[in-house]
Structure 1
Amino acid sequence: MDDLEPIRFDTKIAVLLHEDLEPWQALNVTAFLISGIASADPELIGEPYEDADGQTYLPLIRQPVVVLSGDSERLTTTHGKLLARGMAIAVYTRDMFATGNDRDNRAAVRKVATADLDLVGIAVRGARNAVDKSFKGAALHR
């Protein structure tokens, strides 16, 4: 394989954020959601980086992440489509902004029924076609 040949991915990573989030919230939610995606598959993490002086840096996710936005209805609809397809999803609910640790975050999600989750962010990595169909109608985040 030629090292200059374009790299194609048969999977896609997508994040859908609620359109009403403050910029700091959108960045925070995205970071949390992507940590869930990265933890689900160790092969998703690339090799460490190194600059021309030999200084090394931590490895990053191997493939691009598309970040989209939508309203509550779009988040609920997309969440339902992902669940119906049996896809593993990372979620962030509005209640999690009031917590300060993983234990309380998990408790905030656990106390609410699936249909009643106040979603402000979801993320998934899956087959490109399934991700595209699930996120259809969501706009690129600005």
Structure 2
Amino acid sequence: MQGTYKTSGCLTAKTEVMTMHDTATAVVPDAVRFDTKVVVVLRDDLLPWQELNATAFLMSGIATSEPGLVGEPYRDSEGNAYLPMLRQPVVVLTGDGGVLAAARERALGRGIPMAAYTRELFSTGHDGANRAAFASADAARLDLVGLAVRGPRNAVDRVVKGARRHH
């Protein structure tokens, strides 16, 4: 699904110089404001392993949805390499089934790309089975347990209206 919004990443970035023990300096971001927002909404009746599983799968959809969303690889002080991660923060919210269904409808109506995870996917074992389970489900009656969206900040806020911060 193709969105019609800007995807430049961030609007402003302030920097400041920090001194550590008066011998080294580093430039670190003070405040970065992204013009897009990433939100995962999880059903509020999931077990902890289900929350983590659904979040991991949903974020894989967001991270691969557009070039440039993932940053550069990480390296520690010894030069060991680590995989790159998403360049912007992710907000995790919760809500009941009605909140997720409404968020799905609003995202569809606004053309906001989304990843969706249904309860049935907890019992499948591979990508083909996941796709088959999803394809056989009635779109209007998806048993959503998780939804991830990325889009303009204000639009995403409207999509996830009614969800609350995850604890």
The two structures share one fold, judged by TM-score above 0.5: yes
Unaligned runs of 5+ in 1: none
The one of the two structures with greater contact order (alpha-carbon pairs below 8 A, sep at least 6) is 1
Q: In the alignment, is residue 119 of structure 1 matched against residue 147 of structure 2?
A: no
Per-residue CA deviation, residues 26-74 of structure 1 (Å, 9 max, x unaligned), is: 0000000000011111200001111111112111000000000000111
User: Deviation above 6 Å: which 4+ runs of structure 1?
Assistant: none
Query: Could you tell me the TM-score, scaled by structure 1's length?
Result: 0.95
1:25 is matched by which residue type in structure 2?
Q
User: Take 1:57 and 1:42, find their aligned partners in 2: how far apart are those partners?
Assistant: 19
Alpha-carbon RMSD across the aligned residues, in angstroms, is 1.2
**Following the alignment from structure 1 to structure 2, what is the Cα–Cα distance between the partners of residues 64 and 72?**
25
The answer to which structure has the higher helix fraction is 1
Higher relative strand content: 2
Correspondence 1:1-142 to 2 at 5 A: 2=15, 4-142=29-167
Following superposition, the deviation at residue 6 of structure 1 comes to: 2.2
How many aligned positions are there? Answer: 142
> Which 5+ residue runs of structure 2 have no aligned equivalent?
1-12, 16-26
Give identity over the alignment, percent.
54
Separation in structure 1 between the aligned mates of residue 77 and residue 120 of structure 2, nearest angstrom: 44
